[in-house]
Amino acid sequence: MSDDEFRAALSRLAAGVVLITAHDPEDGPRGEDVGMTATAFLSVSLEPPLVMVSVRNDSRMDDLLERQPLWAVSVLSEGQRHIAGRFAMKNRISDRLLFQDIPTEQGEATGAPLIGGALARLECRTEQRVAAGDHTLVIGRVLTAHTAGEDRGPLMYFRGKYRHLG
Is residue 117 situated within a structural domain?
A: yes
Asked if residue 161 belongs to a domain, the reply is no
What is the tens place of the pLDDT at every residue in 59-87?
Answer: 999 999 999 999 999 999 999 999 999 99
Cα–Cα distances (Å) from 92 to 34, 36, 60, 97, in that order, read: 12, 11, 11, 10
Do the domain assignments include residue 71? yes
Residue 33, in any domain of the structure: yes
Average pLDDT over the chain reads 91
d(CA 155, CA 18): 8
**Percentage of the chain exceeding pLDDT 70:** 94
Task: Give the domain range for residue 102.
Answer: 3-154
Q: What is the pLDDT of residue 100?
A: 86
In a domain, 159, yes or no: no
- The predicted pLDDT at position 94 comes to 64
d(CA 47, CA 30): 35
Q: Is the pLDDT of residue 28 over 70?
A: no
Q: How many domains does the chain have?
A: 1
What pTM value is reported for the model?
Answer: 0.92
Q: Identify whether 160 is part of a domain.
A: no
**Amino acid sitting at position 85:** G
pLDDT score, position 15: 93
User: Is 72 a domain residue?
Assistant: yes
Contact 64, 22 (CB under 8 A): yes
Question: For 2-15, how does the pLDDT look when each residue is reduced to its tens digit (9 = 90+)?
Answer: 988 988 898 888 89
The reply to whether 112 falls in a domain is yes
pLDDT at 19 (0 to 100): 97
**pLDDT score, position 3:** 87
Computed on alpha carbons and rounded to an integer, the radius of gyration of the chain in Å comes to 15
pLDDT in tens, 88-105: 876 555 666 788 889 999
What is the domain-level CATH number for residue 129?
Answer: 2.30.110.10
